[in-house]
Amino acid sequence: MLASVLFFSLMNVLAKLLMDRFPVTEVMFFRSLFALIPVCLSIHLGKGFASTLYTRHPWGHIGRSLIGLTTMVAMFWSFHLLPLGDAIALNFAAPLFLTALSVPLLSEKVGIHRWSAVLVGFAGVLIILRPSGDVLNLGAIIALAGALTNALAMIAIRQLSRTEPPNTIVFYFTLLTTVLLGLTLPFSWVTPDPMDWLLLVATGLLGGCGQLALTRAYSLAPAAVVAPLNYTSLLLAVGFGWLMWGEVPTGTMVVGAAVVMASGLYILHRETRRRATPTQPLPPGDGD
């Protein structure tokens, strides 16, 4: 899980750097395209393509991919509009949205403890937003929209996981997003130079390796053990933001992020105790 956090954190830094010169859709295209390399290698070394590519739910994969693509657009765009630490902190609202949406979409029962954690968590979101003086600034709206669609993506993955292996879900998501993003290239193409190509390839490889490490982590240990480690990504985001862009986190951002993380961890604890499927916070900045 820590390897996954590192891979995704480095990917986020490269994406933020690249989006100073390239459209978000072009950066996302190469992130998905080159992520296919480690994903296909994992499938080849595992059960093989014949077994992995078989699916009984093609429309489920298409729907999950569209939701995940929306999440990727929002997350990458928020990296461009906000300090990296702020964008990552707001993405941690995804488990809060997931808990709230599990009632109407999954018919799950949510008790008073988890509803209380959701309300406290959203209070933490407001604390994060308050320093700007404008709660409805564009970057914050985009980041929260990404957290919402991230929660929807997790619900789609839950439903697909009942019959589909993890590698099948990851492969079709990566393939379909590559195809869809490729359709946008003629309208927003910027030609990379040799150094840009190197960064674009690295972005995709890091994203693919991060997803494989994440999947492997959840296969080796219970979610209650590995999921909390995902919150270390905020420390890396703040550190990279400070070193690369001079982004110093405010005291209220730190307090708000702590409240959101504590709420997410409490929700995970309650769900684990109830022996329900644990809420698994996905890595910020990505729709996998």
Q: How far apart are CA 254 and CA 234, in angstroms?
A: 10
**Model pLDDT for residues 123-161, shown as the tens digit of each residue:** 888 888 775 455 568 888 999 999 999 889 888 888 888
Helix axes 58-81, 2-18, angle to 10 degrees: 60
**Model pLDDT for residues 251-278, shown as the tens digit of each residue:** 888 898 899 889 888 888 887 777 545 4
Report the pLDDT averaged over residues 89-117. 84
Q: How far apart are CA 157 and CA 154, in angstroms?
A: 5
Range with the poorest average pLDDT among 61-75, 182-196, 209-223? 209-223
Token look-up 């407001």 returns 126
pTM for the structure as a whole: 0.84
Residue 280 lies in a domain: no
Give CB contacts under 8 A, 24+ apart, made by 113-117: 113/266, 113/270, 114/266, 114/267, 114/270, 114/271, 117/263, 117/264, 117/266, 117/267, 117/270
Q: Which of 206, 205, 228 is nearest to 7 (CA)?
A: 206
Structural domain for 67, as ranges:
2-273
- What does the pLDDT read at residue 226? 75
Kindly report the average pLDDT of the chain as a whole number. Answer: 86
Residue 283 lies in a domain: no
- What does the pLDDT read at residue 109? 80
Asked if residue 250 lies in contact with residue 181, where contact means CB atoms within 8 angstroms, the answer is: no
Distances (CA, A) of 262 to 46, 120, 146: 37, 9, 20
Question: CA 97, 99, 105, 106 torsion: positive or negative?
Answer: positive
Backbone φ and ψ for 283, nearest 5 degrees, come out as -70, 135
**Model pLDDT for residues 3-23, shown as the tens digit of each residue:** 999 999 999 999 999 999 999
Residue 286 lies in a domain: no
- What does the pLDDT read at residue 136? 61
Residue 84 lies in a domain: yes
Residue 218 lies in a domain: yes
Range with the poorest average pLDDT among 4-8, 99-103, 175-179? 99-103
238: helix, coil or strand?
helix
Q: How far apart are CA 8 and CA 11, in angstroms?
A: 5
Q: How far apart are CA 129 and CA 138, in angstroms?
A: 11
Residue 279 lies in a domain: no
| Range of 79-83, 97-101, 183-187 with top mean pLDDT | 183-187
Asked if residue 13 lies in contact with residue 243, where contact means CB atoms within 8 angstroms, the answer is: no
**Model pLDDT for residues 60-78, shown as the tens digit of each residue:** 999 999 999 999 999 999 9
- What does the pLDDT read at residue 288? 52
- pLDDT level of residue 27 (50, 70, 90 thresholds): very high
Measure CA 169 to chain center.
15
CB neighbourhood size of 54 (10 A): 10
Residue 171 lies in a domain: yes
Q: How far apart are CA 42 and CA 36, in angstroms?
A: 10
- What does the pLDDT read at residue 209? 93
Domain count, the chain: 1
Q: Using the 8-state DSSP alphabet, how is residue 107 labeled? A: -
- What does the pLDDT read at residue 96? 86
